[in-house]
A and B are shown apart, each in its own frame.
Chain A
Amino acid sequence: MDASVRELSYSQAIQEAMALAMEADDRVFLMGEDIGVYGGAFQVTGDLVDRFGSERVMDTPISELGGAGVAVGAAMTGMRPIFEFQFSDFATLAMEQIVNQAAKMRFMLGGEVSVPVVMRFPAGSGTGAAAQHSQSLEAWLGHVPGLKVIQPATPHDVKGMLLAAVADPDPVMIFEHKLLYKMKGPVPEGHYTVPIGKAEVRREGRDLTIVATSIMVHKALEAAEALAAEGIDIEIVDLRTIRPMDKDTIIASVKKTSRLLCVYEAVKTLGIGAEVSAAVAESEAFDYLDAPIVRLGGAETPIPYNPELEKATVPQVPDIVAAARDLVRGKR
């Protein structure tokens, strides 16, 4: 391992990216609920307030709509705010500013402004926080032209993609799965970017393509290792960005493997899996398919509180193993 690469957790990687961005550019500042001395609900900002002061690590009142609007206005007028939602679920209170204002301002004004705002959304289930603190709403925002929506899956990627987001002239929405915050991985020191809009092949294989997002990338990797013992060779595409979606990487992979399984935590219907499936069905990769496309997504229910029910709501490793095995063995 390169001397300048250390093991960091996902949340440390985010914190390091934000610190680097603030060091490099006076216009960058953080806004959010309890991100100052408290350190953020998930301790992502941690002690940054001690280093950068309360003007640049700025606590807001519990005002998601107004706060998002302030971030949009500041971004339109020369600043580079990074706005933290305490939970991604609270995007619902700020939809007006995200969807009607941030996403469309440049377009409505004929290119006369840009809105370089970054919004961070702690997302997903698995923490026992029940239905209003566990959702995966990334596809909602992925449906809106003008926004860029990313779901980095590793500490390396979240640092590089956050730095890319801060440098991006357009609004970038980052969905961070809460169960990833403590996950460790190699992270280079210093400034680097990981491009928005590029998927990454995490594992090469011949028999099946799994396109996965966020935490499901790790579950899919686990499933692939288990199936390797059975002689099944799986390729894993980490989508990383859902808007704009890197269809080329998906199509190239499916042309190679001839089978597609899509795995994501959000509610299955009308979601990312449909979009990925359609990208393949509408492309030349369709002729290469040897089996129907399969989607594994969240159940059609709110996230329940009971831990066993909660687990049953979203795809788990055994579900992925079973679905992948069936696909490759021709049982679908």
Chain B
Amino acid sequence: MATAKKKADEEQSNLPFAYRQYSTAELKEVLRKMYLIRRFEEGAEDSYMRGLIHGTMHLSIGQEASAMGICMPLTTDDQITSTHRGHGHCIAKGADVKRMFAEFFGKTTGYCKGRGGSMHIADVSIGNLGANGIVGGGIPIAVGAALSAKRMKTGKVVVSFFGDGANNEGAFHEALNMASIWKLPVIFVCENNGYGMSTSTERSTAVKNIAERAAAYSMPGVIVNGNIFSEVAEASHAAVERARAGEGPTLIESKTYRYRGHSKSDRNRYRTKEEIEDWISNRDPIMLFENELKEFGVIDENGIEAIRASVRAEIEAGIEFAKASPSPQTSDLANFVYTEQA
């Protein structure tokens, strides 16, 4: 008996973090959400091509495991600040794709009632304080939210997502310093996809790994493979635990890659087709996760197909909802500039 149990425990502890931490149902839901992010991005891209969405957008295809892994230990009370590449964060935090599409279509049923669009997508009710059009803009705001959490003793933790480009903004450095001196419950998540628009981190950043910058602010700096869900989730759990215990902030560098261009204007002249192809064929986060799920017997091909079908239906329904929703009236232009007072 005893030896059998020991053997089972050993097997258990050899499994990657996620397979020890989460139930089968939870793991399937993670896969579903990763598909939801990818298909949402594809749906948004397609709607843009058809002229249903105007402006520009920044797609996070290739970065799904990073968004999902980070958000796993968060509750709907916990808060995030997000970036211009924020659709994945929004979905991972629990947003409804119907209302996201509606926002992109500029409709009143959208999360921001058509005033924000892709770059300001938010769902404050479940703790998403908003994407941001300013590189690094959300980082000090997250520190402020963490200050509120600490002062009001709410037990909330706050995650600030930002890109590799943002780590060269002054706001990043000022925010990390303040979070550290005040020991605030905030987690800085740098999604390093190798480029800020066309400029590679080698050309933009004096350190090899952005996580090294944590040392300057006396906080742990953790590097994870951002395309491996379990690795990201493990780092996020540890950082959340540390934050909730009152031990202060963590900087997580999640190394990943974006497949699409920076935005709609990108001609991809700063990287090679081979580089992109290599990431897609060999390091795709959904593919890697599916392979693991199958290997550990969590799901089979039929199960995966069922997930894909349900996501497809959800995306289609979301786009239909957005199309059918009303546009705001131009007579309401001045709404929300100031708080409406009786």
Contacts and interface: CB of A to CB of B under 8 A. Distances in A.
Interface of A: 27, 29, 55, 60-61, 63, 65-79, 81, 96-97, 100-101, 105-114, 145-146, 148, 169-170
19 contacts: A66-B140, A69-B175, A70-B140, A70-B144, A73-B141, A73-B146, A74-B148, A76-B145, A79-B151, A97-B141, A106-B339, A108-B112, A108-B115, A109-B112, A109-B116, A109-B120, A110-B110, A110-B113, A112-B122
B300 to A, nearest CB: 42
B248 interface: no
B147 interface: yes
Contacts of B148: 73-74, 77-79
A276 to B, nearest CB: 21
Contact of A101 (B114, B116, B137, B339): B137
B63 interface: no
Interface residues of B, number: 47
Contact of A76 (B116, B141, B151): B141
A147 B99 CA distance: 28
A106 B116 CA distance: 10
B194 interface: no
A82 to B, nearest CB: 14
B124 interface: yes
Contacts of A111: 113, 335-336, 340
B120 A79 contact: no
Given A76-B129, A100-B137, A105-B130, A63 B113 contact: no
A148 B115 CA distance: 21
A277 to B, nearest CB: 24
A66 B175 contact: yes
Nearest to B134: A100
B192 interface: no
Contacts of A72: 140-141, 144
Contact of B140 (A69, A106, A112): A69
Contacts of A146: 337-338
A55 B183 CA distance: 13
Given A73-B148, A74-B148, A108 B120 contact: yes
Interface in B311-342: 335-341
B143 A113 contact: no
Nearest to A168: B339
